[in-house]
C-alpha cells in the first residue's frame, strides 16, 4: 500500500505533535508499505526525517511564502501538492496541529478537493479559545464530510470539534500519542531538600501558560519556600518569559534549560511536572513524566484528565487562571510527602498506556479506510 503523510506543523525543528505520524510511517515501512512524507521545510534537518529517508521513505518539503497574496499565483504555476501526485497514493494521513491548520497550508485544501484519494485528518490539538470564522467553519465541515475518517488524540478534542462544527465527524477515532521513553522501573527519586519543579513545553504562553505559573510563584507564600523551577523547551516567547521572570523578581528561582532531548536527564533531578496549559491535545510531556515516575500538576484541558487521575497520579486544576491553578499547586505542595508514591503509580499507568501501541492502531486504521 502507498501511504502519504502530510504534516501541517511549522515553526519548530521538531515537535511532539509529529511523533505519532512519524512512528506510524516507520511501522508502515517495516511492514512493506511505501511511504511518502510532506513536511514543512523547518523539519527538513530533523534527525527523525533523516531516519525516515534512510529507512526508505520519500520526503517532500513545503513552505509558505512571505506574502500570502502571492500564494494563488504560485499555486497556479507550481502547486505545492500536485493532484497528479495524490493519485499515486492509496490513502493520505493529514497530521494537523489543530483543525484550522489545513486552511493555512498553501494549496492543500484545494488539492484534497480535487483528488479522489481517500484522506484521514488527524488532529493533535484543540481548545475552547480557537476562533472559527464562518467561512472557515464551512470549509472544515466540507473537508470533514469528504474525509474517509477522522482522528484525535483525546476524547475531549473530538467532542469539542463536533461542537465547534456542529456535526458528527465521520468514522472518528481516538488514538493516544506514543510515549517516546520506555522504562521498566521509575527513575530514582531525586535527593535534596529543595523541591525542583519542571515545566516541559513549548515556550508559547498563549497555550502553555508559563506566564501564569510565574505570577503564582511570585506571590506569598511561594517566595518563602525552598523551590526552583526549570523551564524546558524552545519557542517564540523565550524573551518575553525572560522579561517576566525579571518582572516578578524570580531570577534566583527560575532557570531556562532549553530543549533537552533525553527526558530521563530532566526527571533524574526534578520532582514534579507543572503544566498550566490553556489548551492541549494529549501532552507527550505528561506521558513521559509519568513514565519516569513523576506526578504532574495540570489543567483540565485536552486529554489531561484522560491520562491523569486527580490525587492519584497528579493534581488537576479546573481552569488555567492564577486562582485556580494556584489553589491546585498549593494543594500539591501540601501533599508533597505523597509525590514519590504518586510517581510510582503514574509510572505503572504510563506502562499500560504504552502497551496500547498507538502507531500500530493508526496504521491499521489507515489500512481499513482503503478497503
3 state DSSP class of 323? helix
Radius of gyration for the chain, computed over Cα atoms and rounded to the nearest angstrom: 21
Alpha carbon distance 151, 266 (integer Å): 31
Q: Shortest CA distance to 320 belongs to which of 161, 65, 129?
A: 129
Q: Is 293 left (phi over 0), alpha (psi -120 to 50) or beta?
A: left
Do residues 329 and 321 touch, judged by C-beta distance below 8 A? no
DSSP string of 150-201, one letter each residue? EEESSHHHHHHHHHHHTSPPTTEEE-PPPPS---SSPPPPPPSSSEEEEEES
Which residues in the chain show pLDDT less than 70?
67-68
31: DSSP letter: T
Predicted pLDDT at 67 = 67
CATH of domain 2-176+356-369: 3.40.50.2000
**Taking the domains of the chain in order of start, what are their residue ranges?**
2-176+356-369, 195-354
Q: Residue 216: what are its φ and ψ, rounded to 5°?
A: -60, -50
- CATH superfamily of the domain spanning 195-354: Glycogen Phosphorylase B; (3.40.50.2000)
Alpha carbon distance 110, 72 (integer Å): 11
Predicted pLDDT at 230 = 98
Alpha carbon distance 216, 30 (integer Å): 48
Do residues 28 and 106 touch, judged by C-beta distance below 8 A? no
Alpha carbon distance 87, 116 (integer Å): 7
For 220, counting Cβ atoms within 10 Å of its Cβ (0-12 exposed, 13-18 middle, 19+ buried), the class is exposed
> H or E element: which one contains 88?
none
Those residues whose C-beta lies under 8 Å from the C-beta of residue 77, and which sit 6 or more positions away, are: none
Alpha carbon distance 40, 67 (integer Å): 17
Number of residues assigned to the chain: 371
Q: Shortest CA distance to 362 belongs to which of 10, 108, 33, 9?
A: 33
Query: Cell digits for 189?
Result: 527519586
Do residues 245 and 251 touch, judged by C-beta distance below 8 A? yes
| Domain pair 2-176+356-369 / 195-354, same fold | yes
- Alpha-helical (H) ranges within the chain are 19-30, 47-54, 71-77, 83-86, 108-114, 134-146, 155-165, 205-208, 210-217, 238-247, 263-267, 284-291, 304-307, 322-334, 339-354, 358-369
pTM greater than the 0.85 cutoff: yes
Query: Cell digits for 8?
Result: 501541517
Amino acid at each position: 500500500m502507498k501511504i502519504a503523510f502530510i504534516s501541517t506543523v511549522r515553526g519548530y525543528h521538531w515537535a511532539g505533535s509529529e511523533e505519532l505520524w512519524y512512528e506510524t510511517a516507520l511501522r508502515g515501512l517495516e511492514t512493506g508499505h511505501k511511504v511518502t512524507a510532506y513536511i514543512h521545510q523547518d523539519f527538513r534537518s530533523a534527525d527523525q526525517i533523516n531516519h525516515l529517508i534512510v529507512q526508505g521513505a520519500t520526503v517532500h518539503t513545503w513552505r509558505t511564502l512571505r506574502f500570502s497574496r502571492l500564494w494563488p499565483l504560485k499555486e497556479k504555476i507550481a502547486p505545492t501538492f500536485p493532484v497528479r501526485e495524490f493519485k499515486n497514493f492509496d490513502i493520505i494521513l493529514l497530521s494537523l496541529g489543530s483543525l484550522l491548520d489545513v486552511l493555512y497550508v498553501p494549496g492543500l485544501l484545494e488539492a484534497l478537493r480535487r483528488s479522489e484519494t481517500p484522506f484521514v485528518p488527524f488532529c493533535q490539538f484543540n481548545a475552547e479559545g480557537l476562533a472559527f470564522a464562518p467561512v472557515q467553519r464551512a470549509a472544515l465541515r466540507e473537508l470533514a464530510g469528504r474525509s474517509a475518517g477522522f482522528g484525535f488524540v483525546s476524547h475531549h478534542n473530538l467532542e469539542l470539534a463536533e461542537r465547534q462544527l456542529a456535526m458528527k465527524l465521520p468514522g472518528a477515532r481516538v488514538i493516544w500519542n506514543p510515549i517516546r521513553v520506555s522504562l521498566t522501573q521509575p527513575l530514582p527519586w531525586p535527593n535534596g531538600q529543595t523541591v525542583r519543579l519542571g515545566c516541559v513545553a513549548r515556550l508559547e504562553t498563549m497555550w502553555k501558560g508559563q506566564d501564569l505559573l510565574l505570577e503564582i510563584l511570585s506571590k506569598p507564600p511561594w517566595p518563602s519556600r525552598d523551590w526552583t523551577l526549570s523551564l524546558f523547551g524552545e519557542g517564540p516567547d523565550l524573551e518575553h518569559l525572560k522579561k517576566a521572570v525579571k518582572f516578578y523578581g524570580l531570577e534566583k528561582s527560575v532557570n531556562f534549560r532549553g530543549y533537552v532531548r533525553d527526558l530521563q536527564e530532566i526527571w533524574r533531578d526534578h520532582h514534579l511536572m507543572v503544566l498550566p496549559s490553556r489548551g492541549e491535545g494529549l501532552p507527550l510531556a505528561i506521558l513521559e513524566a509519568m513514565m519516569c515516575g513523576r506526578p504532574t500538576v495540570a489543567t483540565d484541558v485536552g486529554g489531561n484528565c484522560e491520562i491523569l487521575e486527580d490525587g492519584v497520579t497528579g493534581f488537576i486544576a479546573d481552569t488555567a487562571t492564577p486562582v485556580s491553578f494556584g489553589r491546585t499547586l498549593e494543594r500539591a505542595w501540601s501533599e508533597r510527602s505523597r509525590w514519590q508514591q504518586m510517581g510510582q503509580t503514574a509510572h505503572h499507568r504510563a506502562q499500560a498506556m504504552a502497551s496500547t501501541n498507538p502507531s500500530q492502531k493508526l496504521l491499521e486504521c489507515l489500512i481499513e479506510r482503503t478497503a
